[in-house]
Amino acid sequence: MDDAANPPRRELRIGDTAPNFRARSTAGPLAMKDYRGKWVVMFSHPADFTPVCTSEFIAFAKAAPQFAALDCELMALSVDSLFSHFAWIRAIRDRFGVEVRFPIIEDPTLVVGRAYGMVADDATDAGAVRSVFVIDPEGTVRATSCYPVEIGRSVKEVLRMVAALQAADRRKGLAPEGWQPGDALLAQPQPTIDTVFAADDIVAWFLSEEGQGAADG
């Protein structure tokens, strides 16, 4: 096969439009385009009935009301069949008392995984994939992350990322390291010579709190 004639599919990047798809899920048929107007956290997991994935799904399910408060929908995806998804979430409910109500998409042919760059074009399975895509109401990918199969993701960090993006959009500010809802944002720097010379100190022109310390809740 001529590699030049068949270039590899690149990974989905921040700023790209999230590809549309239609698929079966535990919540019924869904299409990505139907989620326009809402924030979406779409995440993949290597396989049902695995220890790390089970811990993640318990945490995502418990945090679902917090995501809903941000008008953010959750959706998960793996190569497992719809029937496997159902059996797994039933086991989670019966053993841990946690109901996974957000949709889990079946992707046995890897069509969605490849469209999102989660899976290489020549891969035969998605067993090593643990990706997250944060998608805004316009359908634009705003943040991504990818973890190895051995390491579970922090659901608190995914929640913080959505809240930080929303706060930064709303206030046109910047979220510093470790930002949490209720913390102040940083101001967008104004790189002009007048701003630099008029600043109160040598860093204030590029590093100061937005609105002189105004907080965002």
Catalytic residues: 53
Residue with tokens 């798809």: 21
Beta strands 30-31 and 39-44, pairing class: unpaired
Do residues 40 and 139 touch, judged by C-beta distance below 8 A? no
| Residue of 126, 123, 135 whose CA lies nearest to 107 | 126
Distance, in Å, from the CA atom of 48 to the CA atom of 83, rounded to the nearest integer, reads 11
Nearest CA-CA partner of 173 in 186, 161, 160: 186
Nearest to 113 by CA among 42, 176, 62: 42
| Strand partners of residue 17 | 140
Whole-angstrom distance, CA of residue 38 vs CA of residue 17: 14
